[in-house]
């Protein structure tokens, strides 16, 4: 009899109720379950990772989310429970799938073979084994594995499709461009699915097979040192004039091998020639890090060592690339410029704003620092909205409301530190959360109609387990905005120590006070 799971029957019932599509819910339920269990000293992290039931659900959710970072989390979680996985074909199948999408194909093949040995009657083990057998040149064995699978699940759609693809000499990447259900597969093939999901699926498949010659060309061009790969991303250090810069590709080596080298040369040369320093708020920043993501977006992180100020910026030329890939956004620009926010300060501080989206006129009103209420007018055209704007402005100007531009606003620099000795916020496979903080602050300011986040920057001090974060934002009320951002920081940092080091009006920065 296997070791008793840390998951209760109630936990499993909840997870099973989400099994048909609610994969993010499952994944974060498990992460929250483990976090709370450790905090309450019910078990250790190692005990949670060794739990076979948790591992099976964790891999089920992570694999079905179908994004590289989640596959990476799965392959780092699963090894702890292998000693308890005897006889579990599902465990070996799910681990093998995650290894496949993390481009560790030989290891994936090994675990696929072990899986069918451990539980020969588990059909899906034969499915992934057949794909890998064919990839490694064992076509006859692959066809035999498909026959075995079909004997367990007669007429199964996935096995039938794979059988035809092997006959047609398709690549492993082509074999992975499928979904379990025929109707979902048809949506994918016809490009009818949600564009974000389509993009994530294709990016995940790009992470499987590395084109070694193409990857070598990238390395030779950059002339970087201290290369790290698949951890989870590819990074190196380069010397640009007298500045040492870290380059982060948010890709594994297989994805990086497929990057458009001409685009990379053009953008990197532009950065080297024109963007090693950046002047803003009368402060000169030096380039510290270049981050290039899978959407060909570039983030440049700058730092001023003397003033201890950082700044993260999107590279301007990349905005043109985004426009080329998102032509439909151009049509929204006119509407976006017509969004309007008005303020009135008397015994209370009120706002009212309106905008147009999805054939609706939206009116949002309340007190500054509060989410307020929303009213929607359905089935409207842009012409209806323009007419409504005239009425809207006339009515609220009579009531004493004035626009954002007319209102006396302050531009603030808010310096934050977050100390996390348990390193929950920046484990190697978990770099992204710092960007969630940026989004949280941005949304909090805008949803509560108190201001706009203009710029931000952060610097990670690994020795002290410390993030030093700088937010540059406009606001109509300093106290409300600062308290709101402080609350967001506390929610984000959880058990970590967070502190507002300084809040400075931007004029003070310009006068050299920082």
Q: Specify whether the CB–CB gap between 413 and 471 falls below 8 A.
A: yes
pLDDT at position 464, please?
66
What is the rounded distance in angstroms from the CA atom of residue 362 to the CA atom of residue 380?
10
Q: Specify whether the CB–CB gap between 313 and 278 falls below 8 A.
A: yes
Q: What is the pTM of this model?
A: 0.74
Q: What is the DSSP string of 125-172?
A: HHHHHHHHHHHTT-HHHHHHHHHHHHHHSTT-HHHHHHHHHHHTT--H
- In terms of Cα–Cα distance, which of 112, 257, 97, 258 is closest to 178? 97
Digit-coded pLDDT (tens) for 422-464: 555 554 444 456 777 888 898 889 899 998 888 888 887 766 6
What is the rounded distance in angstroms from the CA atom of residue 498 to the CA atom of residue 489?
7
Residue 307 CB partners (closer than 8 Å, separation 6+) = 283, 514
Q: How many helices (H) and strands (E) does the chain have?
A: 22, 16
Burial of 489 (0-12, 13-18, 19+ CB in 10 A): buried
Helix (H, G, I), strand (E, B) or coil at 290: strand
E strand residue ranges, 205-305:
225-228, 234-240, 243-249, 277-280, 283-292, 298-304
pLDDT at position 60, please?
97
pLDDT at position 262, please?
95
Dihedral sign from CA coordinates of 116, 122, 125, 131: positive
Question: Cα angle vertex 4, ends 3, 6, to 5°?
Answer: 125
Question: Cα angle vertex 278, ends 277, 280, to 5°?
Answer: 155
Beta bridge partners, 470, equal 415, 457
Tokens of 300: 């440049």
pLDDT at position 192, please?
61
Helix (H, G, I), strand (E, B) or coil at 221: helix
Low-confidence stretches of the chain (pLDDT < 50) are 1, 317-333, 336, 427-431, 508-514
Dihedral sign from CA coordinates of 184, 188, 190, 193: positive
Tokens of 79: 């090894």
Question: Cα angle vertex 17, ends 14, 19, to 5°?
Answer: 110
CA-to-CA separations, 248 to 124, 197, 283, 300, 500, in angstroms, rounded: 36, 24, 25, 10, 28
């Amino acid at each position: 009899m296997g070791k008793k799971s840390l998951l209760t029957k109630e936990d499993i019932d909840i997870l099973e109720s989400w099994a048909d599509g609610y994969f993010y819910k499952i994944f974060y339920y498990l992460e929250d379950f483990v976090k709370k269990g450790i905090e309450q000293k019910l078990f250790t992290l190692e005990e949670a990772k060794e739990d076979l039931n948790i591992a099976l659900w964790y891999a089920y959710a992570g694999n079905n989310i179908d994004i590289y970072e989640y596959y990476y989390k799965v392959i780092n979680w699963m090894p702890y429970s292998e000693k308890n996985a005897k006889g579990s074909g599902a465990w070996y199948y799910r681990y093998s799938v995650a290894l496949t999408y993390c481009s560790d194909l030989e290891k994936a093949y090994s675990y696929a073979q072990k899986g069918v040995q451990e539980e020969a009657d588990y059909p899906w083990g034969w499915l992934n084994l057949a794909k890998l057998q064919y990839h490694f040149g064992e076509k006859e064995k692959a066809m035999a594995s498909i026959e075995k699978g079909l004997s367990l699940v007669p007429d199964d759609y996935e096995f039938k499709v794979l059988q035809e693809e092997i006959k047609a000499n398709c690549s492993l990447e082509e074999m992975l461009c499928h979904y379990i259900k025929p109707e979902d597969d048809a949506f994918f093939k016809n490009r009818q699915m949600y564009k974000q999901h389509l993009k994530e699926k294709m990016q995940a498949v790009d992470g499987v097979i590395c084109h070694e010659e193409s990857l070598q060309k990238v390395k030779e061009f950059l002339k970087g040192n201290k290369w790290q790969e698949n951890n989870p991303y590819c990074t190196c250090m380069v010397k640009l004039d007298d500045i040492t810069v870290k380059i982060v590709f948010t890709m594994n080596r297989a994805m990086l091998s497929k990057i458009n080298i001409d685009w990379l040369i053009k953008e990197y040369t532009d950065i080297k020639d024109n963007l090693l320093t950046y002047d803003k708020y009368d402060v000169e920043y030096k380039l510290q890090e270049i981050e290039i993501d899978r959407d060909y977006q570039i983030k440049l992180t700058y730092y001023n060592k003397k003033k201890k100020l950082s700044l993260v910026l999107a590279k301007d030329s990349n905005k043109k690339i985004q426009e080329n890939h998102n032509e439909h956004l151009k049509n929204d620009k006119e509407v976006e410029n017509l969004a309007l926010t008005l303020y009135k300060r008397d015994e209370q501080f009120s706002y009212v704003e309106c905008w147009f989206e999805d054939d609706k006129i939206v009116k949002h009103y309340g007190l500054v620092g509060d989410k307020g209420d929303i009213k929607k007018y359905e089935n409207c055209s842009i012409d209806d909205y323009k007419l409504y704007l005239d009425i809207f402005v006339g009515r609220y100007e009579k009531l004493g409301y004035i626009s954002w531009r007319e209102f006396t606003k302050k531009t603030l620099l808010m310096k934050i530190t977050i100390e996390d000795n348990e390193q929950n916020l920046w484990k190697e496979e978990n770099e992204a959360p710092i960007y969630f903080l940026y989004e949280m602050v941005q949304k909090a300011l805008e949803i509560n109609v108190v201001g706009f986040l203009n710029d931000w920057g952060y610097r990670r001090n690994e020795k002290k387990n410390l993030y030093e974060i700088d937010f540059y934002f406009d606001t109509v009320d300093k106290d409300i905005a600062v308290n709101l951002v402080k609350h967001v920081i506390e929610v984000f940092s959880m058990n970590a120590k967070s502190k507002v080091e300084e809040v400075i009006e931007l004029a003070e920065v310009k006068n050299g006070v920082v």
